[in-house]
Amino acid sequence: MRSLLSLVVAGVLVALSPAARADDRDETSGTDDRWTSHPLTIGTFGTADTPPHGNVIGLEADYAPRSWLYASVLGGSDGDSSAYAFGGAAHVRYTSGWLAIGLGGGFEQIGAHDVTTTDTDFLGPTITNAYSFGASAWATGDVTIEARTADGLSVRLAVGIEIPIASGTYTCMSTNADNGLFGSNVPTTTDCSGAVGKVVEPFAGLMLGYSPRLASR
């Protein structure tokens, strides 16, 4: 999460630089040229999330048939377990100079993966949960803020929610070390298997990309 915030800060500094604020408008339409003549964006992305979805890193490609509309495809892996991840989305956006604000939704598929969590209380026992999640599909919705330089360098921050729409079952074994202040230090293991409920989970994501200049449209 700290590295994600560092990338956000770096991207904002780039976006606020004089080059990013340079006047680069399409003379025929009055629309900023960095959005009309740079429809294709290729970049890398990362999301910060919680199990079973997990943190995802990978590559993303966007295409904007209009300055106010773009579609995305992405592929990568769960950074915690190396499970595959892929998805797609569509967004509408409002552009003003170097800045764009978007709203959209999509889907994401996460492959089967294992996750281990550890919870330690100050005076209580250490509890370790070992999960094995099946493949799951998620519906997503988010708000985006994007900054783009006149040369096509982009940084996009997304904040949104997601909900599982397929599968989401898991097996789980929970180990209580019973090592608290008054514990016996004799571990016990219980089955904590179940299914991911239809719960809404928040997420945040960052995309750093480049949009080459194509013919004006």
pTM of the model: 0.72
2's enclosing H/E stretch is helix 2-15
Q: What tens digit of pLDDT does each residue of 56-65 get? A: 899 999 999 9
Residue 82 pLDDT: 72
Residue 86 pLDDT: 93
Q: What tens digit of pLDDT does each residue of 112-154 get? A: 888 888 887 767 778 898 888 888 889 999 999 999 999 999 9
Cis, peptide link before residue 52, omega less than 30° from 0: yes
Mean pLDDT for all residues in the chain? 81
Q: Break the chain into its structural domains and give their ranges.
A: 2-210
C-alpha triplet 95, 100, 102: angle, nearest 5°: 105
- Residue 2 — very low, low, confident or very high, per pLDDT cuts 50/70/90? very low
Please give the structure tokens belonging to residue 22: 């340079």
Q: What tens digit of pLDDT does each residue of 153-163 get? A: 999 999 999 98
Pick the CATH number of 2-210 from 3.30.2320.50, 3.40.640.10, 2.40.160.20, 3.30.1330.60: 2.40.160.20
| CA–CA distance, 127 with 178 (Å, rounded to integer) | 8
Q: How far is CA 17 from CA 45, 148, 149, 154, 211, in A?
A: 22, 11, 8, 13, 18
